[in-house]
Structure 1
Amino acid sequence: MTHSATRVSRRAFLLAACATAGTVVSLGACATGIFPFIPDHYTFSQQQVQAAVQRKFPYRREVQQLFDVALTNPVVTLLPERNRVAVKLDARLESPLMQQPVSGVFTLSSELAWDGERRAVVLKQPSVDSVDMQGAAAAYGQQVGAVAALAAAQLLDHYAVYTFKPEQLQFAGVSYEPGTISVLTNGIRVQIVEK
């Protein structure tokens, strides 16, 4: 039996199961993945992403043996127009090369990707979008941005913001996996497709 024939027979089985169960749900809804046991997508909220990212902070690290970087207070924002997730962070940088510590705020953004081994949606290749230094620290904006970008990239690259439970990707002996990942205004939608 071919792969497409297997899909057709599974869909026919599911349609028959819907009809036999006497559900009020229309067959069209059942066939499109709205059937409650086989969703065609999962959506997790901005608050869930915020909680996942929050677990990594506060973060302190020595970078290139010259800078002591402290990152705190992450705030997650969804950027649907760019299909990215942004994280705004407070940064404090100390170095023997500077007379006093400097502080500021920077924002990085990241695309999202699927990590099959961990069954997780992860941040991928975060990059610094903006650096805002105040007062005398403004002269160090470029340096803080570069050092913070390095620290943040090491910290958040491939960091899981949502991990699927095994049962969310299995039904009736059939394995499913995420397809397209879309950033929405109120959450992140992950399409579910048959493996």
Structure 2
Amino acid sequence: MIRRAPRAPSSTPGAARATRRAFLLAACAAAGAAMSLGACATGTFPFIPDHYTFSREQVQEAVQRKFPYHRSVQQLFEVALTNPVVTLLPDRNRVAIRVDAHLASPLMQQPVDGAFTLSSEMVYDAASRSVLLRAPSVDSVDMQGNAAGYAQQVNAVAALAATQLLTNYPVYTFKPDQLQFAGVNYEPGTITILTNGIRVQIVEK
């Protein structure tokens, strides 16, 4: 009698993903024993760990390109915004941007200076492969001089600036090869604001 060898059990999708992950880890290790896994993840073999973190300084550099900002609002205010400073707000999972503000208006006896603090959440846009600022809001308006008598109008100017400056503005764009390795496609998932950077979860498609 001829006995048939037992058939190997079929692999499940979870097992296949685990196998691919093990292969990627082995490939990363083979690339250089002296490299840490984190270093490997940011070099030749991207995203073998399950996340990628970019810094506050990278956000600062991206936001800086939007300034200086000059606008005329309803022919009543001339607004100039300069010197953006990015702050991370992990307790709110948002990014704050403080800007110096200069307002001039025929309604006021003389131009006034002060600051706006704007904040935004961060989302991933698959079409552009970019992490974007979205849903901006005005956290505070601090103006000197006689601007206090026009608080409603000044707040409207700040809200307009927040919308025009921050809505859907990309602060980090992934390269195509950063989201693919060894035939496996990846995509960003949950975005978490930390005290020292922005952590983007990387998941297999």
Q: Please say whether Structure 1 and Structure 2 have the same fold, judged by a TM-score greater than 0.5.
A: yes
Shift of 1:24: 6.2
Of 177, 195, 203, which aligns to 1:185?
195
Shift of 1:18: 6.8
Match of 2:156 in 1: 146
Please give the per-residue CA displacement for 1:21-47, whole angstroms capped at 9, x wherever unaligned: 49869xxx98xx997421311111111
Asked if the contact 2:77–2:105 (Cα under 8 Å) also holds between the matched residues in 1, the reply is yes
1:122 partner SS: strand
Q: Equivalents in 2 of 1:53, 1:104: separation in Å?
A: 19
TM-score where L is the length of structure 2: 0.80
Q: Equivalents in 1 of 2:156, 2:108: separation in Å?
A: 15
Choose 91-100 or 41-50, whichever is displaced more.
91-100
Amino acid at match of 2:60: Q
Larger of the two Rg values belongs to structure? 2
Q: Equivalents in 2 of 1:154, 1:83: separation in Å?
A: 21
- 1:160 correspondence with 2:134: no
Asked if the contact 2:121–2:133 (Cα under 8 Å) also holds between the matched residues in 1, the reply is yes
Amino acid at match of 1:40: D
Of 99, 104, 119, which aligns to 1:94?
104
Shift of 1:4: 3.7
- 1:39 correspondence with 2:43: no
Of 63, 74, 78, which aligns to 1:64?
74
Asked if the contact 2:141–2:158 (Cα under 8 Å) also holds between the matched residues in 1, the reply is no
The total of aligned residue pairs comes to: 189
Q: Equivalents in 2 of 1:114, 1:192: separation in Å?
A: 11
Match of 1:74 in 2: 84
Match of 1:84 in 2: 94
Shift of 1:101: 2.2
Choose 5-14 or 58-67, whichever is displaced more.
5-14
Amino acid at match of 2:183: G
Asked if the contact 1:72–1:90 (Cα under 8 Å) also holds between the matched residues in 2, the reply is yes
Amino acid at match of 2:188: P
**CA RMSD, 1 decimal:** 2.6
TM-score where L is the length of structure 1: 0.84
Q: Among the aligned pairs, what percent are the same residue?
A: 73
The 3 A distance-change label for structure 1 pair 34 and 56 is: closer
Asked if the contact 2:108–2:147 (Cα under 8 Å) also holds between the matched residues in 1, the reply is no
Q: Equivalents in 2 of 1:56, 1:111: separation in Å?
A: 17
1:96 partner SS: coil
Q: Equivalents in 2 of 1:182, 1:166: separation in Å?
A: 22
